[in-house]
Structure 1
Amino acid sequence: MRVALAQIRSGTDPAANLALVGDYTRRAAEAGAALVLFPEATMCRFGVPLAPVAEPFDGPWASAVRAAAAEAGIVVVAGMFVPSGDGRVTNTLLATGPGVEARYDKIHLYDAFGFTESKTVAPGRDPVVITVDGITVGLTLCYDIRFPELYVELAERGAELITAHASWGTGPGKLEQWTLLARARAIDTTSVIAAVGQAYPGDEIAAVGPTGVGGSVVASALGEVLASAGADPELLVCDIDLAAARKARETVAVMHNRSGFPHTGRAQSLA
């Protein structure tokens, strides 16, 4: 499977960000990718009120993403915000394209490093997988990557590729943690991890919240870095050897050896 990671730099104008989605989707399709991944907060960057920009899941912004995916003939996964009904929003992934229509609401909210996402964002509850070209793909958002039990749950549901979509916060060691966590979740589950982040927006914007550090990365089922990006906007295209991933899952056998072990993590209660 060929996968594209669209490391964009979202701004505060959803229409301008939608134009980026259209552009990168076309480029990914031209590169032969079956799946193009956009970051968390593709619709609008963090650091501004989210409720005024949030739209229904069937609203005009999401509908335009669906149209771009249909026109390009490629599955698109992109971050948006949807009204939650309690004055907050959900931090949502829209997955759409040939044979795919799904929604994932972020389960683990970023109440860490001095940021309180739960004030403005309502949590999701359900892990989500999709099928792209016959391959089961799990979906996760940003802070989720620090919770291995969710990734194990997705792998147990058959995911061979798990995506992580982030707007990662800056700070000492944060970029290194992002890369390390992606590789660790790959090793935990013997799954390929495709982790796409927002490009670094500059020091002034980065100071307002988790607005991206770049560093998008694809990790093999053995935790090897297959492809990686720098800090700036980039379309990162990577061919994933699923036969090698399946062999790793058989050889390392952590998923098999985990069978029957009682789960104590949150993912079990949500499954």
Structure 2
Amino acid sequence: MTSGSQGTTSTRAPSPALAPLRILYAAYACLLFLVLSLGVLVALVVTPGLERRRRTARIGARCFLRLAGMPLVVIAPERIPQGQCVIVANHASYLDGVVLTAALPPRFGFVIKREMSDVPLGGLLLRRLGSEFVERFDRHRGAVDARRVLRNAVGGHSIVFFPEGTFKPQPGLLRFHTGAFATAARAGCPVVPVVLRGTRVALTPGGFLPRPTRIEVEVLPPITSTATSADAATVELRDLARAAILERLGEPDLYASSADADSNASASSARPSRDVERRTGPGGGVLPAQEGEPQG
């Protein structure tokens, strides 16, 4: 489909009277996800060929979203290049990977935090889909993982990143890490920004009760860099992709807000407090303590 609306889905608190229905729906959705995941996992174990396995996972993801009452609308899928590219998407929920698996062509693999490789059954499923696991906390191992991802990208693989690296309960876009954009710059391929809407409502971060809701995946125009160096191209691609996603997402810029807060905090710490000003005379001497304040 090629139509959609900019903005966020309403997150008004549900009526308490609907709580039993929400719990019943959540139990149904979780059981549905478990059954389909186990079925897909068995199919992935016995199915030869990476693209065939990804097609199988795509069918399973689409079945889950449809049966769970989460209609998926993909806006402008024709913008995805036929050739190699790097897709970057905002990250709002644990459902994001399922949604992109359902929405994107099966030639795409995902870059995922290494902790997910240790999840029982889930790690096996992700490995059978050709996912790239990247270490976030060990710098040396992370560098080794990044070089492997780059080699695969240079070799022609198309990859999906969540450049925020994590998500928070409150709506908004976090800062982007540079890994996805360094990979694209060194592989010489375009970056395709993708906007996810509705997944935060469908499964709130930190929550355990999914909700039926419409989910949108909007593919934005591919981005290339005119920079002459890989480092400059990395920064340019990151900034352009983030600006494009932020414009269409309709959520706050959490990185700008945190940067402003840090700047204000730094400015405040650089100025003497009212208490210090009150205690300090024109020559810098300490004024006598006021009544009710301790001496010394």
TM-score, structure 2 normalization: 0.33
Structure ID, larger Rg? 2
TM-score, structure 1 normalization: 0.36
The structure richer in strand per residue is 1
The structure richer in helix per residue is 2
Q: Which has the higher contact order (CA 8 A, sep 6+)?
A: 2
